[in-house]
Amino acid sequence: MYAYVTLVTNADYGVGALALARSLKAVRSAWPLLVLATENAAGIDALEAEGCIIQAVVPPPLSSAFQARHERSHLHAAAPFAKGGKPAFHKPLDNFCKLHSWRLTAYRRVVFLDADTLVVKNIDKLFGYPEFSAAPNLYETLADMHRLNSGVFVATPNEATYQTMLERLDVHGAFWRRTDQTFLESFFPDWHGLPYTFNALQYLYFNLPALWRWSSIRVVHYQYEKPWQADHPKAQLLRPLISLWHAVYDGHPIPADLPDP
């Protein structure tokens, strides 16, 4: 048995996860969406009504020193976001809850999808990819290709793997600059590269438009600003992507004739 997995930590990501669930239905995925819900999650009733499996999750046990180093203000001071803005509801420490994916041992393999992603073509074949598969963090230049983005990844649940992760995660002085992404790069140094089209970061749309072809894009990832934000600072640059998200959220089918940038 396989499952898609996402993480909901607050009301905003509950909204995002609902659009994600509807997108998976729109592309006729054969597998369910399992929602890892923290204590601050919201929108769970709507996700259950959409057919999602809900599983409560708590953050991994992390020392107070580790938490202080990765708290939002400290992390952004040490590693500021210079290219885009993370909304206030985003808490970097929550990212480590993604590691719970390896505890889902009822499933042979899982595909994790951030709650700010939208699936626009069927991606069920990802369950045939090996652990650990992820796409590059490509959003500005081709130099980004060497880093992974953990918005979409393929994992094989295994409790022993999870326990080994905990042993390596919170060691003395550890600072994971991009939280779970930097950690996963370290834990899986030979990670298998998925095509960027399986995790197309939205800034690619205006930074490298020649690489954005709707005929090949399978997952749109709304990194940085979110399409449901009322005060979206890049709305004009990303209007087609924002409109697409709202259409799917409202239950409309995914258009077959989206124009390339």
List the CATH number of the domain containing 218. 3.90.550.10
The pLDDT value recorded for residue 74 is 66
Domain membership of residue 259 (yes or no) is no
Q: What is the pLDDT of residue 92?
A: 85
Residue 256 resides in a domain: no
Which of 178, 233, 234, 229 is closest to 204 using CA atoms?
A: 234
* Residue whose pair of structure tokens reads 């990765």 in the numeric block: 70
Cα–Cα nearest to 7, from 99, 114, 111, 105: 114
- Helix or strand run (H / E) with residue 5: strand 2-8
| 255 lies in some domain | no
Task: Tell me if 17 is assigned to some domain.
Answer: yes
Q: Tokens 């480590």 identify what position?
A: 96
Three-state DSSP class for residue 48:
helix
The distance from CA 165 to its chain's CA centroid, rounded to whole angstroms, is: 19
**Counted domains in the chain:** 1
Q: Hey, what amino acid is at 187?
A: F
Domain residues for the domain of 69 are 2-249
Q: Is residue 135 part of a domain?
A: yes
**How many C-beta atoms lie closer than 10 Å to residue 223's C-beta?**
22
**pLDDT number for residue 173:** 86
Encoded tokens for 203: 């800034």
The answer to whether residue 195 sits within a structural domain is yes
What the block records as the tokens of 61 is: 């046990």
> What does the pLDDT look like over 205-255, one tens digit per residue?
999 999 999 999 999 999 999 999 998 999 999 999 999 999 999 999 999
pLDDT score recorded for residue 98? 98
Q: Give rounded-to-5 percent helix, strand, coil for the chain.
A: 40, 15, 45
Q: Give the per-residue pLDDT at 174.
A: 86
HSE toward the beta carbon, residue 156, CA cutoff 13 A: 9
H helices present in 128-258, as ranges: 159-169, 180-187, 204-207, 239-249
Give the integer Cα–Cα distance in Å for 124 and 31. Answer: 8
Mark out the alpha helices in 105-207 (DSSP H runs): 159-169, 180-187, 204-207
- Average model confidence (pLDDT) across the chain: 93
Can you give the pLDDT of all 261 residues of the chain as single tens digits? 999 999 999 999 999 999 999 999 999 999 999 999 999 999 999 999 999 999 999 999 999 999 989 887 766 665 665 566 666 657 889 999 999 999 999 999 999 999 999 999 999 999 999 999 999 999 998 888 889 999 999 999 999 999 999 999 999 888 898 899 999 999 999 999 999 999 999 999 999 999 999 999 999 999 999 999 998 999 999 999 999 999 999 999 999 889 999
The residues that bridge with 154 in the sheet, in sequence order, are 111, 133
3-state SS assignment for residue 220: strand
Query: ω into residue 132 within 30 of 0, thus cis?
Result: yes
Contact by Cβ (8 Å): 8, 115: yes
- Largest Cα–Cα distance of the chain, in whole Å? 52
The number of beta carbons lying within 10 Å of the beta carbon of residue 255 is: 14
Residue 261 within any structural domain of the chain: no
Contact 123, 111 (CB under 8 A): yes
In the chain, the amino acid numbered 103 is R
Assigned domain for 237 exists: yes
